């Protein structure tokens, strides 16, 4: 295997070096507008009459071997300040359009929609995405890794959708200041995608193989400018906020605390492709709370970052490594302590070089004796071959004016510093069939000198019918990433996987096929500790409903005591061995229905010879496009020997989303967690009173369900204003 992987990577390097852009012949001429344009969904301006047009989209699903049946026409033009887009989406079938709501950044597969994928550097790796559903809800994001979209990105642009009996028209204007692009380049990558739920057809202008998302930048066409795009000019945005609120802790019975706060974010365009973000006294009170889960795992659970400052253009930091081997995880910053200020410089230096540098300063937390800390993260990425890159990551966490040796008796002891350095190669072949990653990480912590490094690699081949992958990881027992997410250390992991798909030419099924995965953990001395072998058979219908049936066999040798209920009752002994078999099934209904649902169940063994039954259900109904009601429920029944006995845990979460307009939203949801003996209520009203400027009203309650008792309650009003200088 050690000889095979370098050989495969070397062969792919040769293919990449000789590869050319796949859809070179698909070109849209970008000509300057001959008149002013009003964004009203009516294409009656001379500029639209004179603009070049593209049509004849290609089908991606259900088959990628023909032109699309649903017609889509696209025109683009520009002036000194804006890029303009006009899309005519013709009806694919009679009946009303299908949309979730008017909320921004909707789910692609659950809406009739149109999306544009823009690659201003034509590097087939990074870019921007803009779009709308048939009701006018906007969709925008930063593109990275050749086809992924970060929907947390927020910026200024304008659009409008107008519905006609035979079509819906999407018209948009995107300021040059909103995007990043290199001066002097007259050739950009571009593609357009359409999802029509009534006909279950997904299509794109430049053809994309069905196994890849329509956002795949490896398959973009070419946007040919008639001249060098205009200079965006000074690009400085100030985003101040003001906040007021109150908080009441009923357990401590302290007086109500009143909040009065203010802060500032700033965005400064250093160049047309490099941006400086600054934040002073940031507040994230409007961010969605985490979705609770029943925790039956031996290791720390992962909850995604939701704070926008860390998400925007942060893929260079957060995508370094793997899902359970992340040297940087931004939720470690500001955990239980306020962030005073921060800065991030990120973007493209040129077509081949990409830079990201971030520095954050937190304050001292007297309640836990946590010292003030400084976090510095630096990433540099170099594009190689057609679409691959080599990256470097440096992380430094420093406790300010802190000596662990002088901690008071009984106080927690924190590290004086923790540093990580990593190198990573990301493979993406020109046709995207081969992808992979190889990385090495080294940590630096006081008193730790050996086995403080990690390395990992994976290689994935994806064709229309086969998906075959291999991944291995080594993490030394002294490897320490205090600003990362590495729930497990001191292990070696091997994880091969193989999937085979079949595509019937007729009938209700779109595809079906088996998948086999094996996950194996060993100690650093190659002693087996964990093994799971899973066989899954998946079915996808042409109406987009899915069914997966699976069976698995599991073996675990505990390396430390573990409470199988995570309730603190008692623990299984370290080095005890456990094995069991499990069967399960998952079904998701078709998205076209107003009533949608998803069901999941598993039954099998558990630790200590016990049994486990888990059932999960999600039910949703929408009064499109204004109201969406959802209910999720999860039940776990665990039958174990004494002292644990028989235990059942419910986790229930009803949710209400109301989108009165595409600028006024209300969300309310309740979460009841029987395992944690907790119930919380969260409501949020958001009014986007002008582009990228919002008013938030957030109300939260936290309860002890038995006996029913309020633990704490908070109300926050926050006003955000986006000012372009």
Quick one: 41 and 171 in the same domain? yes
pLDDT in tens, 38-62: 999 999 999 999 999 999 999 999 9
| Domain assignment of residue 718, yes or no | no
Quick one: 185 and 303 in the same domain? no
Look at residue 4 in the predicted model and tell me its pLDDT: 41
Which 3 state secondary structure label does DSSP give 692?
coil
Query: Beta-strand (E) ranges in 400-527?
Result: 417-428, 434-444, 453-462, 466-475, 491-494, 497-500, 509-522
Cα–Cα distance for residue pair 11/28, rounded to 1 Å: 34
Supply the mean pLDDT for the chain. Answer: 91
Quick one: 201 and 325 in the same domain? no
Cα–Cα distance for residue pair 232/708, rounded to 1 Å: 58
DSSP 8-state class, residue 244: E
Domain boundary among 450, 465, 487: 487
Quick one: 216 and 309 in the same domain? no
Cα–Cα distance for residue pair 314/427, rounded to 1 Å: 19
Q: Give this prediction's pTM.
A: 0.89
| Domain assignment of residue 506, yes or no | no
Quick one: 53 and 137 in the same domain? yes
| Domain assignment of residue 482, yes or no | yes
Parallel, antiparallel, or unpaired: how do β-strands 221-225 and 27-32 relate?
A: parallel
Quick one: 221 and 308 in the same domain? no
pLDDT at 14 over 60: no
> pLDDT > 70: what percent of the chain?
97
Confidence of residue 20 (pLDDT cuts 50, 70, 90): low
Cα–Cα distance for residue pair 232/426, rounded to 1 Å: 32
Domain boundary among 210, 225, 240: 225
152 within 8 A of 90, measured Cβ to Cβ: no
Look at residue 67 in the predicted model and tell me its pLDDT: 96
| Domain assignment of residue 459, yes or no | yes
pLDDT in tens, 212-228: 999 999 999 999 999 99
Cα–Cα distance for residue pair 18/12, rounded to 1 Å: 10
Cα angle, residue 70 at apex, residues 64 and 73 outer, rounded to 5°: 105
Instruction: Select from 324, 283, 347, 428 the least CA-distant residue to 121.
Output: 347
Quick one: 45 and 181 in the same domain? yes
Structure tokens at 701: 């309650």
Structure tokens at 351: 């077509």
What is the helix (H) or strand (E) element at residue 654, kind and residue range?
strand 646-661
CB atoms within 10 A of CB 220: 27
Look at residue 251 in the predicted model and tell me its pLDDT: 84
Quick one: 303 and 212 in the same domain? no
| Domain assignment of residue 396, yes or no | yes
pLDDT in tens, 698-716: 999 998 877 778 889 999 9
Instruction: Select from 613, 649, 654 the least CA-distant residue to 631.
Output: 654
| Domain assignment of residue 601, yes or no | no
Calculate mean pLDDT across residues 175-192: 91
- What Å distances lie between residue 7 and 13, 108, 276, 282, 494, CA to CA? 10, 38, 41, 49, 19
What is the helix (H) or strand (E) element at residue 703, kind and residue range?
strand 693-704
Quick one: 323 and 200 in the same domain? no
- What Å distances lie between residue 657 and 527, 626, 631, CA to CA? 51, 8, 12
pLDDT at 13 over 70: no
Confidence of residue 232 (pLDDT cuts 50, 70, 90): confident
Look at residue 152 in the predicted model and tell me its pLDDT: 81
Parallel, antiparallel, or unpaired: how do β-strands 491-494 and 509-522 relate?
A: antiparallel
Maximum CA extent, the chain: 81
| Higher per-residue pLDDT: 190 or 386 | 190
| Domain assignment of residue 466, yes or no | yes
Partners of residue 172 on adjacent β-strands:
85, 159
Calculate mean pLDDT across residues 529-551: 97
| Domain assignment of residue 456, yes or no | yes
User: Which CATH number belongs to the domain containing residue 99 in this structure?
Assistant: 2.60.40.1190
Residue 643 preceded by cis peptide, ω within 30 = yes
pLDDT at 91 over 70: yes
Quick one: 312 and 206 in the same domain? no
Structure tokens at 581: 């078999």
Residue 95, phi then psi, degrees to nearest 5:
115, 170
CB atoms within 10 A of CB 93: 12
Number of structural domains (the chain) is: 2
Quick one: 218 and 331 in the same domain? no
pLDDT in tens, 243-258: 999 999 888 888 899 9
Sign of CA dihedral 204, 205, 211, 212: negative
User: Which CATH number belongs to the domain containing residue 350 in this structure?
Assistant: 2.40.160
Residue 169, phi then psi, degrees to nearest 5:
-110, 130
Look at residue 19 in the predicted model and tell me its pLDDT: 43
Domain ranges, residue 430: 299-487
Quick one: 66 and 177 in the same domain? yes
Cα angle, residue 717 at apex, residues 714 and 720 outer, rounded to 5°: 140
Rounded-to-5 percentages of helix, strand, coil across the chain: 5, 55, 40
């Amino acid at each position: 295997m050690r000889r095979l992987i370098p050989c495969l990577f070397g062969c792919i390097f040769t293919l990449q070096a000789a590869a050319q852009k796949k859809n070179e012949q698909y070109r849209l001429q970008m000509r300057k507008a001959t008149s002013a344009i009003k964004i009203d969904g009516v294409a009656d301006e001379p500029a639209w009459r004179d603009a070049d047009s593209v049509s004849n989209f290609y089908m991606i699903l259900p088959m990628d071997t023909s032109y699309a049946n649903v017609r889509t026409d696209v025109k683009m033009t520009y002036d000194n300040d804006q890029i303009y887009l006009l899309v005519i989406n013709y009806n694919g079938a009679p009946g009303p359009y299908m949309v979730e709501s008017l909320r921004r950044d909707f789910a692609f597969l659950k809406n009739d929609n149109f999306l544009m994928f823009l690659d201003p550097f034509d590097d087939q790796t990074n870019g921007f995405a803009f779009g709308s559903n048939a009701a006018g809800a906007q969709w925008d994001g930063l593109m990275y890794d050749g086809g992924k979209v970060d929907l947390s990105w927020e910026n200024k642009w304008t659009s409008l959708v107008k519905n006609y009996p035979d079509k819906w028209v999407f018209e948009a204007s995107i300021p040059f200041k909103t995007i990043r692009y290199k001066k002097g380049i007259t050739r950009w990558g571009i593609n357009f995608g359409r999802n029509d739920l009534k006909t279950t057809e997904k299509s794109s202008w430049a053809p994309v193989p069905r196994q890849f998302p329509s956002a795949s930048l490896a398959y973009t066409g070419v946007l040919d400018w008639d001249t060098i795009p205009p200079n965006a000019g000074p690009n400085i945005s100030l985003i101040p906020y003001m906040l007021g609120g109150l908080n009441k802790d009923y357990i401590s019975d302290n007086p109500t605390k009143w909040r009065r706060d203010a802060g500032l974010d700033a965005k400064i365009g250093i160049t047309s492709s490099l941006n400086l973000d600054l934040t002073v006294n940031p507040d994230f009170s409007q961010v969605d709370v985490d979705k609770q889960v029943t925790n039956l795992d031996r290791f720390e659970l992962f909850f995604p970052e939701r704070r926008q400052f860390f998400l925007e253009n942060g893929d260079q930091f957060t995508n370094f490594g793997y899902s359970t081997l992340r040297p940087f995880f931004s939720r470690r910053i500001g955990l239980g302590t306020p962030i005073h200020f921060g800065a991030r410089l990120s973007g493209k230096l040129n077509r081949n070089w990409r830079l990201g540098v971030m520095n954050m300063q937190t304050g001292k937390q007297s309640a836990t004796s946590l010292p003030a800390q400084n976090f510095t993260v630096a990433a540099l990425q170099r594009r190689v071959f057609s679409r691959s890159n080599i990256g470097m990551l440096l992380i430094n966490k420093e406790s300010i004016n802190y000596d662990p040796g002088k901690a008071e008796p009984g106080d927690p002891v924190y590290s004086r510093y923790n540093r990580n350095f990593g190198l990573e190669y990301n493979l993406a072949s020109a046709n995207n069939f081969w992808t992979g990653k190889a990385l090495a990480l080294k940590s630096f912590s006081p008193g730790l000198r050996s086995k403080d490094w990690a390395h990992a690699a994976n290689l994935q081949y994806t064709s229309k019918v086969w998906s075959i992958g291999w991944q291995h990881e080594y993490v030394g027992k002294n490897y320490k990433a205090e600003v990362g997410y590495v729930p497990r250390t001191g292990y070696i992991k091997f994880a091969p996987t193989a999937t085979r798909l079949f595509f019937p030419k007729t009938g209700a099924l779109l595809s079906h096929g088996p998948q086999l995965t094996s996950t194996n953990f060993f100690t650093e001395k190659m002693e087996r500790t964990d093994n799971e072998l899973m066989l899954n058979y998946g079915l996808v219908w042409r109406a987009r409903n899915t069914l997966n049936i699976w069976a698995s066999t599991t073996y675990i040798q505990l390396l430390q005591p573990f409470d199988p209920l995570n309730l603190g009752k008692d623990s299984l002994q370290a080095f005890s061995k456990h094995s069991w078999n499990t069967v399960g099934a998952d079904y998701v209904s078709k998205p076209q229905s107003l009533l949608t649902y998803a069901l999941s169940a598993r039954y099998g063994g558990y630790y200590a010879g016990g049994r486990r039954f888990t059932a999960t259900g999600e039910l949703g109904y929408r009064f499109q496009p204004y109201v969406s009601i959802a209910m999720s429920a999860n039940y776990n029944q665990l039958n174990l020997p004494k002292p644990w006995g028989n235990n059942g845990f419910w986790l229930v979460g009803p949710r209400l989303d109301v989108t009165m307009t595409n600028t006024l939203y209300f969300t309310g949801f309740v979460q009841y967690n029987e395992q944690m003996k907790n119930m919380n209520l969260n409501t949020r009203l958001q009014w986007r009173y002008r582009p990228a400027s919002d008013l938030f009203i957030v109300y939260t309650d936290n309860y002890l369900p038995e006996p029913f008792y309020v633990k704490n309650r908070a109300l926050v009003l926050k006003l955000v204003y986006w000012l372009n200088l």
